Amino acid sequence: MRKHNHGEGGFTVVELAIGMTVFAMVALSFLGLFTALVDSSIVAKQKAVASTLATNQMEYLKSLPYDNLAVANGSIEAASPLPASTTKKVDGATYTIQTSINYVDDAFDGCGSYPNTALRDLYCRNQPAPSGAPVPDTNAKDYKIVNVKVKGPGNRKLAEVDTHIAARVAETASTTGALFVKVVDGAGNPISGSTIQLVNTTVTPNINRTDSSDSNGIAIFYGLTVDTNNFDYKITASKSGYSTLSTIVPSGSLQPTYPNQKVLTQQSSYVTLTIKPQGQNSLVVETTSTSGTPIANARVYIKGGYKRYTATTDTTYYYDNMTPSDARPTTDASGLAAITNLVPGAYIFCGNAGATSCTVDGTTYYLAAAVPYSGVNPFNPVTVPTYDAASPPATTFSYNGLNYLQKVRLLLTTSSTFPRITAMSPSQVSLASDPITNFAFTITGVNLPCTTSAASCGTTVSVAQGANNYAASCTGSSAGTQLSCHINLTGITVGSTRMTITSGGNTLALPDSPMIGGFIVTP
């Protein structure tokens, strides 16, 4: 057995064990401290985010008309209450924004009627009431208190703000009113920084004001001259890279989609305008015969974009290149023409029934079909898509060195008896959910004679995909404006199709890919 000499270094097993234990304790302490610091940093960041969310929510609420300040299932009744709770995800964390809004009775104009003194002292603020205040106050809804709480992960309350909001219009001169304008995009999201112009030339002095929408898409105009007899306040919203929209007046019994506004004494009017991200190069029009031969010098009637009036029976639009003056484009030698600055949306060609104001050298041409190169809907109406400069579309259509958002082929004919399609519904077939063996669809158009018996229908309809051809069974009427069809599409695959329609000895054979001349088959 080896003996240690005096002065030799080293640790015994016990010493080593104690040392490791102490080291582990110190390491665990530092780990705990590090974890606490990380957690504290995360909480601090979440509190900063929550504070911003609470402030933004409060500023949004403060921008709303006073009468709109009410939440669902709250103490204040409203036709369209605001949500009491919403969520927002920021940097992977989910925050819950809770809003409560209640009336406040303030003693500045006396207290309301309470069943006992204790309740009055509890619910009537800022007592005692000043000398001469009515007893009791017959309108105890003096102003509103708005409270916003933001909770983060684990339902932890991270931020809270509250404020009092009074009916600001009621504090203005008795001869004026207010107007709230909100600007949103096509999805309903608020648009900040849009320019809003308000004009009324029928009052004295004339009104011509301009403001910008805030982060909630809202601009507020106070102190407006009252105009109760007519809808004379015209509002225009615009922003670079977006479409421009102006309100209009009613036309007889027709109510505008975006109406001019009245301003009433001591009241506020409210309107929402929708503007859409818009590209400059909108649409290429291609005019051909029904056999596909280009037609030069064709002047094409186009209307669409914003619908003027809410009635479904009315088909007038903001964009109409025949009204108030003839601004129809003329196709070149290849049958092509381009249109710029169209509002994203649906467009109709050659009139509702394809028989109006499409001409070549003064001769009327009928639209057998409008076949788009992109989108999900064949025939009229053809959609011009929105444009986001930060995320440009994958598919565009070149013309004269420029890229356009949409292209459409117009199949034109001089024969008034040629079959014409103006719409088809549905336009898509889903292999997963639709009854493929007996798929039902409707074709609307002109010169599609039929009967209530499919066996004696004067119009035939078929759909082809590659070498496969599918015949439809249709019924209709002698008016020839609509066919109700069924078709067995067994064996059809995902992709495009082409449709053929024959009536009166004339055949309309529609093109397929890259155009949409029939159903789009989806998985």
Same domain, 252 and 283: no
Same domain, 490 and 389: no
How does pLDDT run along the chain (523 residues), one tens digit per residue?
Answer: 444 455 555 667 666 666 677 666 766 666 665 565 556 677 888 888 888 888 888 888 888 888 888 888 665 666 788 998 999 888 888 999 999 887 787 888 788 765 457 657 867 888 888 887 777 776 667 788 899 999 988 888 888 988 888 875 544 445 677 788 889 998 899 999 999 999 999 988 888 888 888 888 888 776 788 887 778 899 999 999 999 999 999 998 999 999 999 888 766 678 899 999 999 999 999 999 999 999 999 999 999 999 999 999 999 999 999 999 999 999 999 999 999 999 999 999 999 999 999 999 999 999 999 999 998 888 878 999 999 888 888 889 999 999 999 999 999 999 999 999 999 999 999 999 999 999 999 999 999 999 999 999 999 999 999 899 999 999 999 999 999 999 999 999 999 999 999 999 999 999 988 899 999 999 9
Q: Which one of 381, 416, 451 terminates a domain? A: 416
Same domain, 292 and 254: no
In a domain, 87, yes or no: yes
299 and 207 in contact (C-beta within 8 Å)? no
Residue 246 β-bridge partners: 236
Same domain, 289 and 403: yes
Domains identified in the chain, total number: 4
Same domain, 152 and 193: no
Expressed as residue numbers, the domain containing 450 is 423-523
Picking from 380, 458, 477, 382, the residue whose alpha carbon sits closest to that of residue 419 is 458
Same domain, 393 and 433: no
Could you identify the residue written with the tokens 């028989």?
355
Same domain, 293 and 393: yes
Q: Which one of 224, 255, 274 terminates a domain? A: 274
SS3 assignment for 238-285: ECCCECCEECECCECCECECCECECECCCCEEEEEEECCECCCEEEEE
423 and 416 in contact (C-beta within 8 Å)? no
Same domain, 177 and 214: yes
> What pLDDT, on the 0 to 100 scale, is given for residue 10?
61
In a domain, 481, yes or no: yes
Same domain, 313 and 198: no
pTM for this prediction = 0.67
In a domain, 449, yes or no: yes
- Helix, coil or strand: residue 114: coil
Q: Which one of 274, 293, 321 terminates a domain? A: 274
- Cα 329–chain centre separation: 30
In a domain, 311, yes or no: yes
CATH number of domain containing 200:
2.60.40.10
What is the DSSP secondary structure assignment for residue 206, as one 8-state letter?
A: P
Picking from 485, 482, 474, the residue whose alpha carbon sits closest to that of residue 441 is 485
